[in-house]
A and B are shown apart, each in its own frame.
Chain A
Amino acid sequence: MILNDEAIAKIKERVGLYPQSKSAILPALTIAYHQVGYLNDKVYKDIADIIKVPCVEIAEAATFYTMFPKEPVGKYLIQVCHNISCALLGADSLISYLEQKLEIKKGETTRDNLFTLVTVECLGSCATAPMMQINQDYYENLTREKVDKIIEELRAKA
C-alpha cells in the first residue's frame, strides 16, 4: 500500500457516509492526493481495495478531474485558466510570461522542485479573469506585476 494508515482510516470513515461505496470515490481520491501529492495506478488500486469498487471506476473518475495531478508536481502547483474569459483578458500572454519567468514550459516543474505550471479549463472565476489557482488558493485579476509579487512571496516562503 502506498496510502498510510491515517489516509486509509479517513477513507474508510468516508465510505460509511454513503449508501453506495462508489460515492466515496472522489473523497477518497482527495484524501489520497493530499497524502501522496499526486495520483497514479498504484493509488487507484489501493483505493479500490479499501472501498471495494473496481479499480477501473476509480481510474475513470480520477482522470476525468484535471485537478488531480497524475505525476509528481512541485511544491506549488500553478494552474492557469485558459478558457474563454481569461483568454480574452490575456491568459495566453500571462502563461508565456510565467514560462519565461520560471524557465519552464507548461506541464513542467522547475529544477528546484518548487513550481509546476499547468493550464486548466474554467475555474468558475470569470468575473475576476484572468486568474490562476496555486495549490488551494485563487489568485485573481492578474497582471504581470501581480504575478511577480506572488512568485516572489512563495519563493521566500519555501
Chain B
Amino acid sequence: MADKQNPETGGQATVTLTIDGLTVTVPRGYTVLEAARSIGINIPTFCWHPKLKPVGACRICYVEIEKFPKLQVSCATVAMDGMVVHTNTDQVKNGRRAVLEFILLNHPLDCPTCDKGGECDLQNLTFAHGLDDSRFAFQKYRFVDDDMTTTFDDKRIGPEIILNRNRCILCYKCVRANKEAFGEYDLGAYERGNITEINAAPGRQVANPFSGNLVEICPVGALTNTDWRYKIRVWLTKTTPSICNFSSSGTNILFYKEDHKNKIYRVTSRRNDDIDDGWLADITRYSYQVITSDERLIKPLIKKEGKQVPATWEEALEVIKKRLNEIKDKKGGVCIGGLASPSLDNASLYSFAKFLRRTFNSNKLDYRQDYRMLPKDTANNYSILASQPFKIAGIDDSDVIVTFATDLLREHQNEYLRVRKAFNFKKARIFVANPYAVKTADVAELEMVYKVGTDEIFINAVCLAALEENLVACPDRADLKKKIKPSSLKDAAEQCGVAPETIKIMARALAEGKKVTFIAGELLTRCRDREIIASALCNLNRLFGLNRKGQIAVLARYANSMGAVKLGISPEPVPALKKELEKIWSGLPDTEAYNTDTMLVHMKKEEINGFIIMGANPVMLYPDREFVKESLEKLDFLVVCDLYETETTALADVVLPLAGWAEYAGDYINLEGCRQHAEQALKPRFEAYPGYEILEMIADKFEKKLFSSTEERESEIDRLLKVDTTLPWPDGFVEVKTAEIEIEKDYPLALFLCDDPHHCGHLTEKANSLVNFCGEAYIEMAEEQARAYNLNEGDSVRLESPIGKIIVPLKISEHLDNQVVLVPRNFTSHPVTSLLMRKRRIDWVRISKVAE
C-alpha cells in the first residue's frame, strides 16, 4: 500500500482525516479506502486490488464525504487533510444496494453450480448489503459461445482457464493485472455497454506464465481453473500453509486438500508482501501435481541380474548396507560420495551431509547438479558475490535496477514482477544487459545485448565509462585500469558490441542512482568462466559503491539453494561454517573434497565407487550427458532417491521412493536467506519417505544414528543457520583475467540452455497443467535467423554440436537476436545436455532443417 506515493502532492508526508468518527493519520497518497482499512473499517470492494492502480470501475466502495455533493468511490479518492468520511450511513447503504442491483441485472445467479460459490465476493456482498429480490423483470442478456448449445458460456480461453462471460461483473481486475503487473497482452475487454466482454486477445490463448493469478483475483466465478472446476466445494477443503518448491524466493502458498482422500485440489497464494506480493507464477500454482501424479515411484527397486525389480524397504536397506560396507572395507569410506537436490528441505540436506561426512569420513558431496566446472571451495569472487545479502522487497524502492546475465522471466518470476512494479509505481530506471534479448526489456530504459562470451568485457566497459567520464569518486580508481583489459572504453565497447554512448548512460545511472539493485543470474552461475565475470562485478561494485547504496547479488536458483550453502552441503563449506560444524560434530573429515564435476571425473577413473543421489537428476541436467552416464555406470554401487523413475534412477542399483515437499513438514531458506516453514499437507503417497527419514534409516543400518532426536537435529540446524555466511568483499580492485573462448568451426550459433517459463528443473513435466502450457522442448530463435535457414514455426530442426544431436520443433521468438538459440532443458524427450561439452564457455551448435 505504501507503494503509492504521489510526488506531485509534495508538502507534508502525512494527512489526517476522520472516518466514522475516528481520527486517522496516514501517509500522503493513501486512498480513503486504504486509510479506512488501516484502522479496521471494512469497505466492500470488487475492482480494487492492493497491487494494482485503482480504476473505480465497480462503485461498490461508495462512501459519503462531507462537503462532497455525491457519494465517492473510496478506492480512487485520495485521502486529504480534514476530510470527514462516513462509511455506513443510509445514503451509503442505498448506494451499495443500487450498485449490487445493477451488477446483478444480467448475472445468471447460478451459484449452486458455480465453483466460486462459498468464496465469491459477489455472493458475500449481496448477502451482506444487497436486496433480497430484483426489480429487473426482463430477459437477462446472455452470452452464448458459438459452439455452445446450452445457456452455459464455458469457453476455454487458455490451457487452464475457462471463462463464463455471463458471470463476469466487469471489474477489469484480470485485464489490469495481466497488462499492468505481468506485462502480458493475451487478454482484453471488448465491446461496450451490457455486451462488454472479457476474452482472449485475437488469435491467442491466455497462456502467460502468471495466468493462474487471473482466476484467483476474479471476484466471481467468471474465470475458473480447470484443475479445480467441478471437483469440490471450497468449504469441504482444508488449507495448509506451505512454500513453493520451484522458486528460490520461497513464494508463500496454501494447499487446498481433503484429508480422507489424501488429495490436493489446488494452490492459492498466501500473500507475503516481503516475498511475493500475492502473485503466483503458474509453476508455483500447478506444481503440486508433481506430487499428486499417479506415475510416482511406488516401492523401492533393487537391481537383480541387470533388471530393477520391486522390493521391500527392509530388503533395499539391507542391500545398501551390505554394498556400501563392502566398498568401505575394500577401498575406504572416502570412495563414497553423494549429490543432493537443492530443493530438499533443511533437515534432509543437513542429514545428507552429516551422514556422508560422519559415516564415511567423506567430503565428496555437493548440491549443484546442473552447473559445469564449479569451484570447490569458497575462496573466490563468485562465492563472495553469491553470498551477498539481498532483499526482494528492496527492488521496490530502488531507483536504478540492472539485470545482468539473467532472463528473469524464466528464472526468477517473482523478481521479474517486482522489477515491473518498480517501473510502474516508482518509475525506476531499468537496464537490461544479457547476451540475448529478454522480456524484462519491455520496461527497460536501455537494453544492451552484448556479444556472446563478452560478459566480463561488458562490465569492464561500464567501469571504464565511469572512469573516463569522471562519474565516481572512488579513491583508488586509477588502480582499476591496470587490472582490466582492454583499458579503454572504446575498445571494450567495440569488443562487446555495445555502443560506448549507451554504456555511458548506464554508468551514469549507476553513479547517480540513490538506491541501486543489481541482479545477476543463471547465465553467470552456469558459465565456466563465472570467476572471471564475478571478478569484473566485484570491481563494478567497488567502483560505484553498489552494496553500500543498494544491493548486488547473484540470485540463488532453487527453493533451498541457500539452505544448502548455509548448512554446508558443499565440498568445502565457508570457513565460519566449518568451524561451527567442527564444534557440533567434534571434528570434521579432513579427506579430499570434491564437487559434482570432480566427483564425476573420479567416478570415471573408478576412484569413487559408491554414490548416493537424493532428488537430483544429473543425467538430465549436468552438461555432457554421455559423460555423466559413463561416470555413473562405472560405479560399483549407486543409490538414487526420487519421486519418479528418471534417467538417473535407471542407472541405480537401488532406487528409493522419496516423498515430495507437500508430504512432510520442512524448512527452506529462500534467496534472501529467510527461513520459511512449509507444513505437511499430505501423508506420503505409496511407500515414499522424506529424505531425512530415509537417511536416518540407512544410518541406523550402519549403527551410527544421525541424531538422538528430532530436537537434536533441529538445534544443530539452528546453530548452523546462525552463522553469518556472507563473505567479505576483496580489498581493492581485482584482476579480471582474459577468458579464452573457443570458436567451433562450422558451428556458428551459440546455444543457451534455459527453463521454459512454465517449467523448472526435471520434475515439472509430471504436472499435467504445466504440460498443457508447454509439453515438449523447442528451439527458440529469431525470425530473421529462421528465415535464413528457410525454417517456419513448428518445423523440425536438427540441432547439432560436435558431440551430439537432437531434433526439436522450431519456435520463433519475438525477442531473440541472431546468433543465439535457446532450448529448454525440462523435457526428457529432448535431452539437450547431450549437446553440451563439459569444459566450454559457449556451447556452439549448428542447425539444419529436417526433410519431411
On A, residues with C-beta under 8 Å from B are: 41, 44-45, 54-57, 59-60, 63-64, 66, 121
User: With A and B bound together, what is the CA distance between A56 and B185 in angstroms?
Assistant: 6
- Decide: B203 and A60 in contact? CB cutoff 8 A: no
> Which of A54, A55, A59, A64 touches B192 (beta carbons < 8 Å)?
A64
B445 to chain A, nearest CB (A): 16
Contact of A56 with B186 in the complex, beta carbons under 8 Å: yes
A56 near B201 with CB under 8 A, answer yes
Q: Which residues of B contact A54 (CB under 8 A)?
A: 185, 201
Besides A54-B185, A56-B201, A64-B190, 15 new A-B residue pairs in contact (Cβ under 8 A), listed by A number: A41-B202, A44-B202, A54-B201, A55-B203, A56-B185, A56-B187, A56-B188, A57-B185, A59-B190, A59-B201, A59-B202, A60-B189, A63-B191, A66-B192, A121-B193
Q: A60–B192 Cα gap in the complex (Å)?
A: 10
Give the chain A neighbours of B203 by CB distance below 8 A. Answer: 41, 45, 55
Of the A-B pairs whose beta carbons lie under 8 Å apart in the complex, a sample of 13, sorted by A's number, is A41-B203, A44-B202, A54-B185, A55-B185, A55-B201, A56-B187, A56-B188, A57-B188, A59-B188, A59-B201, A63-B190, A63-B191, A64-B190
Interface residues of B in 305-319 (CB under 8 A from A): none
A55 CA to B179 CA in the complex, in Å? 12
A39 to chain B, nearest CB (A): 11
Q: Note all chain A residues with C-beta closer than 8 A to B185.
A: 54-57
Q: Which residue of B lies closest to A64 (CB)?
A: B192
Smallest CB separation, A82 vs chain B (Å): 13
A63–B198 Cα gap in the complex (Å)? 12
In the assembled complex, how far is the CB of residue B43 from the closest CB belonging to chain A, in whole angstroms? 29
Asked if A60 contacts B188 (CB within 8 A), the reply is: yes
Q: Report how far A64 CA is from B190 CA in the complex, Å.
A: 6
Give bound CA distance, A66 to B191, whole Å: 8
| Chain B residues positioned under 8 Å from A59 (CB to CB) | 188, 190, 201-202
Q: Give A55 to B204 CA distance when docked, in angstroms.
A: 10
Measured in the bound complex, the distance between the Cα atoms of B186 and A56 in whole Å is: 7
Q: Tell me the bound Cα distance from A66 to B193 in angstroms.
A: 11
B180 CB → nearest A CB, Å: 13
Would you give the shortest CB distance from B417 to chain A, in whole angstroms? Answer: 18
B220 to chain A, nearest CB (A): 21
Inter-chain contact count A-B, CB under 8 Å?
35
Nearest-neighbour CB distance to chain B for A153, whole angstroms, equals 33
Write the B161-192 contact mask toward A (1 if CB under 8 angstroms, else 0). 00000000000000000000000011111111
Chain A minimum-CB-distance residue to B192? A64
Chain A residue nearest to B183 (CB atoms) is A54
Chain B residues within an 8 Å CB radius of A55: 185, 201-203
Measured CA separation A50–B193 after assembly (Å): 29
* Least CB distance, B768 to chain A, in whole angstroms: 28
Could you tell me the distance between the alpha carbons of A59 and B198 in the complex, rounded to whole angstroms? Answer: 12
B-side contacts of A45, CB under 8 Å: 202-203
Most buried by A among B185, B190, B201: B201
B residues 124-147 touching A (CB-CB < 8 Å): none
The residues of B that contact A66 with a CB separation of less than 8 Å are: 192
Residue with the highest number of chain A CB atoms closer than 10 Å, among B186, B190, B192, B202: B202
- Those of B260-283 within 8 Å (CB) of chain A: none
Q: How far is the CA of A57 from the CA of B193 in the complex (A)?
A: 18
Question: A64, B202: Cβ atoms under 8 Å?
Answer: no
A57 to chain B: which residues have CB within 8 Å? 185, 188
Shortest beta-carbon distance from A47 to chain B in Å? 11
Residues of A contacting B187 in the complex (Cβ-Cβ under 8 angstroms): 56
> B202 — which chain A residues lie within 8 A by C-beta?
41, 44-45, 55-56, 59
- Which residues of A sit under 8 angstroms from B201, Cβ to Cβ? 54-56, 59
Contacting residues, chain B, for A56 (C-beta < 8 A) = 185-188, 201-202, 204
Quote the shortest CB–CB distance from A48 to chain B (angstroms). Answer: 9
**Inter-chain contacts of B193 with A (CB < 8 A):** 121
> In the complex, A13→B565 CA distance in Å?
58
Which residues of chain B have C-beta atoms less than 8 A from A121's C-beta?
A: 193
A-facing residues in B193-208 (Cβ within 8 Å): 193, 201-204
Please report the C-alpha to C-alpha distance between residue A55 and residue B187 in the assembled complex, in whole angstroms. Answer: 10
Q: Which 6 A-B pairs have the closest CB atoms?
A: A54-B185, A56-B201, A56-B188, A41-B202, A63-B190, A60-B188
Distance, CA A60 to CA B185, complexed state (A): 11
Determine the chain A residues whose CB is within 8 A of the CB of B189 once the complex forms: 60
How far, in angstroms, from A57 to B204 measured CA to CA in the complex? 13
Nearest-Cβ distance from residue B173 to partner chain A, whole angstroms: 16
Q: How far is the CB of A123 from chain B (nearest CB, A)?
A: 15
In angstroms, Cα B201 to Cα A68, docked, is: 18
* Interface of chain B residues 370 through 414 with chain A (CB within 8 A): none
- Tell me the complex Cα distance, A95–B77, Å: 44
Query: How many angstroms from the CA of A73 to the CA of B840 in the assembled complex?
Result: 63
Per the bound structure, the CA–CA distance linking A100 and B634 in Å amounts to 89
A120 to chain B, nearest CB (A): 11
CA distance A64 to B187 in the complex (A): 15
Q: With a CB–CB cut-off of 8 A, which chain A residues contact B190?
A: 59-60, 63-64
For A43, the closest partner residue in chain B by CB is B202
* Closest beta carbon of chain B to A36's beta carbon, Å: 15
Nearest opposing residue in chain B for A63, CB measure? B190
Asked whether B191 lies within 8 Å of A64 as measured between CB atoms, the reply is yes
How far, in whole Å, are A121 and B202 apart by their CA atoms in the complex? Answer: 26
A101 to chain B, nearest CB (A): 28
Interfacial chain A residues near B191, Cβ < 8 Å: 63-64
Across-interface contacts of A44 in B (CB, < 8 A) = 202
Q: How far is the CA of A60 from the CA of B190 in the complex (A)?
A: 5
How far, in angstroms, from A53 to B186 measured CA to CA in the complex?
13
A45 to B812, CA, bound (A): 17
Interface centre among A44, A60, A66 (most CB of B within 10 A): A60
A60 to B191 CA separation, bound complex (whole angstroms):
7
Q: A122 to chain B: closest CB distance in Å?
A: 12
Q: With a 10 A CB-CB cut-off, give which of A44, A63, A64, A121 has the most chain B CB atoms.
A: A63
A59 to B201, CA, bound (A): 8
Residues 505-528 of chain B, each 1 if its beta carbon lies under 8 Å from chain A, else 0: 000000000000000000000000
Contact code string B196-233 (vs A, CB < 8 Å = 1, else 0) = 00000111100000000000000000000000000000
List residues of chain B with CB within 8 A of the CB of A41.
Answer: 202-203
Q: Chain A: which residue is nearest B178 at the CB level?
A: A56
Contact with A along B31-67 (1 / 0, CB 8 A): 0000000000000000000000000000000000000
Cβ of A51 to closest chain B Cβ, rounded Å: 14
**Interface core residue of A41, A44, A45, A56 (most chain B CB under 10 Å):** A56
Most buried by A among B188, B189, B193: B188
Closest partner residue, chain A, to B191 (CB atom): A63
Contacts of A64 in B (CB 8 A): 190-192
Kindly list chain A residues whose C-beta atoms are within 8 Å of the C-beta of B186.
56
Name which residue of chain B comes closest to A121, CB basis: B193
Select from chain B the residue with minimum beta-carbon distance to A59: B202
Alpha-carbon distance between A66 and B187 when the two chains are bound, in angstroms: 21
